[in-house]
Chain A
Amino acid sequence: MKKYIDTGKKDTRSGFGEGLLRAGKADGRVVALTADLKGSLKMDDFAAEFPERFIQCGIAEANMVGAAAGLAIAGKIPFIGSFAEFVTGRVYDQLRQEVSYGKTNVKIASSHAGITLGEDGATHQTMEDIALMRALPEMVVVNPCDYNQTLQATLAAAKYDGPVYLRFGRPSVPNFTDPDEPFEIGKAYVMNEGKDVSVFCCGHLVWEALQAAEALEAEGISVEVVNVATIKPLDGDTIVTSVRKTGKAIVAEEHNMAGGLGEAVAALLAQEYPVRLCFMNGGDRFGETGTPAGLMALYGLDAAHIIEKVKSIL
């Protein structure tokens, strides 16, 4: 199988920070807003380089969304950044009226998504954000897999005309994709071709799936790993092509079952090409305090569990 090398663990939010800086250099319309989380969102470099285009909003996310909509109407390209829960669930109605229904070119930079936020516990660990953002008409939902891809996805989001939800996490995770490969919104990336089972995944679970595929290859099991980095709009062609070949699939994500990638893929395949499907996700529950790796193991979302799941459906 195709060999991926981890060039050193990096947090995906730093990929966003670097992407934001580059996007800002490339286009003077790019502005950044945060609700008192400049450091956590890695906006420091952008703020230092473009102080007049960095807008601190204080701990007031609802207003931040509205202000960003105003800036977008006036022709700016605003990126609003906070923790995933606080730029989705907390401000769902603002995003709905001002960004989605209001047709404004606002980019939502969502960090610390999922249980790997870790020790802060369930108040901060949203496992529902993809569902909320998928529900908004015309919202693009992107969850890149590593630092490099997050950087490229940020550049792509800046160029895209319309609202984009860009999801990334807190901890450092393996960095293994081509740093120079431009990100295509709406494309699912076949990371490894296989014939026995398809694994559709997003975020840092892509690395876990690749590790699982490598281990299974040694046992003679061929796994196709597809990085569904854009969850909406879903790349139906790539997903259907994959299951036509493998006939069965697993969907893995750091998100709950309701409204996540799993249900998106299930809805697609139910209509287009029904196959046996298994889901690996948070189920229907809240997170809890713990280390990122410990929680991923507890929730059954690591390479070891993917290996087990693949074997169970063969």
Chain B
Amino acid sequence: MRIFEKFPVIIKIIQNKSMAKENLQKIASQVRRDIIRMVTSAKSGHPGGSLSTTDILTALYFEVMDHNPATWTRDGKGQDMFILSAGHLAPVYYSVLARAGYFPVSELGTLRKMGSRLQGHPSVRRSLPGVTQASGSLGQGLSVAAGLALAKKMDGDKHLVYVLCGDGECEEGQIWEGAEFATHHSLGNLIGITDWNGQQIDGSIESVCGGGDLQLKWQAFGWNTVTADGHDMEAILAAFAKAREMGRKTNRPTMILFKTDMGHGVDFMAGTHKWHGKAPNEEQCQQALAQLEETLGDY
């Protein structure tokens, strides 16, 4: 039996392209519960950035991308592709992939455990469906996504390539090598997503190494830019639609800068770097779950 057939509810969700934002919000709430439970069980991991990108990735996988878990292959032929450059956001990535039907949600509980396909950072060595490339060492995913987008252009495949980077990650020099490459090669089929939460491990970006205006930097490198509230489903969907249109019209890559809060959705985790890479204890986990509605059933 295909994995896909085990999840009739999810199939319905994927097939219904006109899903209301309320449904996306419900999925996002479940994904947030998954993140908290996974990281608590693993006793390590990165809840902060996972919670800040939950709404974006939920919108991407359940509404925006043209993809099909049943026919997915690593080469991404005939589908939109997604690269997670900020590999430490593995919890949200795995939850969204599982909830979308790439692999059983029951596997989410194995995160960071011995023998798991859900490695601490995404790996392609365990044949986990939906994962196109390994990530964890920062600043590299944009280059990979640019290579994928270039291949799609060469092959006449009109599908798009999406890549998610952190704002702190943009301190890596290679990001800007990838930025100029994508512009030079006219990659209008490449859409970048920045989790613009203003936080990194050691503190606020401002306090760590926050030089210059991030949006102006992308523009200076020849990219289209779109900014949006990364926790407002309607704004997220509109930003993706705008980005696709800009890319198509200009033949240039587009960066969507989503304003987000690290730790969004859990009051004691929100807006601080302190939960970037720390797992809650059992009590904190229950405190967090009390704030998040269980909508699709816990794994």
Stretch of B9-17, B142-150, B230-238 at the chain-chain interface: B142-150
A62 interface neighbour in B132, B140, B141, B145, Cβ under 8 Å: B140
CB distance from A91 to the nearest CB of B (A): 9
State which size class the interface on A falls in. 20 to 34
Stretch of A93-101, A218-226, A294-302 at the chain-chain interface: A93-101
Which residues between 244 and 275 of chain B lie within 8 Å of chain A, taking CB atoms? Answer: none
Q: Given A70-B144, A73-B132, A94-B140, does the pair A63, B151 have CB atoms closer than 8 Å?
A: no
Whole-angstrom CA separation of A101 from B144 in the bound complex: 14
Stretch of A52-60, A142-150, A173-181, A272-280 at the chain-chain interface: A52-60
**A-side contacts of B76, CB under 8 Å:** 73-74
Q: Is A182 an interface residue (CB 8 A)?
A: no
The answer to whether B148 and A70 have CB atoms under 8 Å apart is yes
Whole-angstrom CA separation of A57 from B184 in the bound complex: 9
Q: Given A66-B143, A66-B178, A67-B181, does the pair A98, B134 have CB atoms closer than 8 Å?
A: yes
- Nearest A-chain residue to B151, judged by Cβ: A74
Q: Is A69 an interface residue (CB 8 A)?
A: yes
The answer to whether A97 and B146 have CB atoms under 8 Å apart is no
Q: Is B54 an interface residue (CB 8 A)?
A: no
Q: Is A283 an interface residue (CB 8 A)?
A: no
**B-side contacts of A71, CB under 8 Å:** 147-148, 150-151
The answer to whether A58 and B178 have CB atoms under 8 Å apart is no
The answer to whether A101 and B125 have CB atoms under 8 Å apart is yes
**A-side contacts of B155, CB under 8 Å:** 74
Whole-angstrom CA separation of A66 from B185 in the bound complex: 15
**B-side contacts of A62, CB under 8 Å:** 139-140, 143, 173-174, 177
**B-side contacts of A66, CB under 8 Å:** 140-144, 146-147, 174, 178
Q: Given A63-B146, A74-B148, does the pair A98, B140 have CB atoms closer than 8 Å?
A: yes
CB distance from B160 to the nearest CB of A (A): 13
- Nearest B-chain residue to A106, judged by Cβ: B147
State which size class the interface on B falls in. 35 or more
B124 interface neighbour in A57, A78, A103, Cβ under 8 Å: A103
B150 interface neighbour in A70, A96, A97, A104, Cβ under 8 Å: A70
The answer to whether A57 and B140 have CB atoms under 8 Å apart is no
The answer to whether B124 and A102 have CB atoms under 8 Å apart is yes
Whole-angstrom CA separation of A94 from B180 in the bound complex: 18
CB distance from B279 to the nearest CB of A (A): 24
Whole-angstrom CA separation of A310 from B64 in the bound complex: 69
**A-side contacts of B143, CB under 8 Å:** 62-67, 69-70, 94, 98
The answer to whether A57 and B181 have CB atoms under 8 Å apart is yes
Q: Is A306 an interface residue (CB 8 A)?
A: no
The answer to whether A75 and B180 have CB atoms under 8 Å apart is no
Q: Is A76 an interface residue (CB 8 A)?
A: yes
The answer to whether B174 and A63 have CB atoms under 8 Å apart is yes
Q: Given A63-B178, A97-B134, does the pair A69, B124 have CB atoms closer than 8 Å?
A: no
Q: Is A68 an interface residue (CB 8 A)?
A: yes
Q: Is B109 an interface residue (CB 8 A)?
A: no
B residues with CB within 8 A of A? 74-77, 123-125, 132-137, 139-152, 154-155, 173-174, 177-178, 180-181, 184-185
New contact pairs (15) apart from A67-B150, A74-B155, A75-B151, CB-CB < 8 Å:
A60-B180, A62-B140, A63-B143, A65-B143, A67-B147, A73-B75, A73-B147, A74-B75, A74-B148, A76-B151, A93-B137, A94-B143, A97-B137, A98-B144, A103-B124
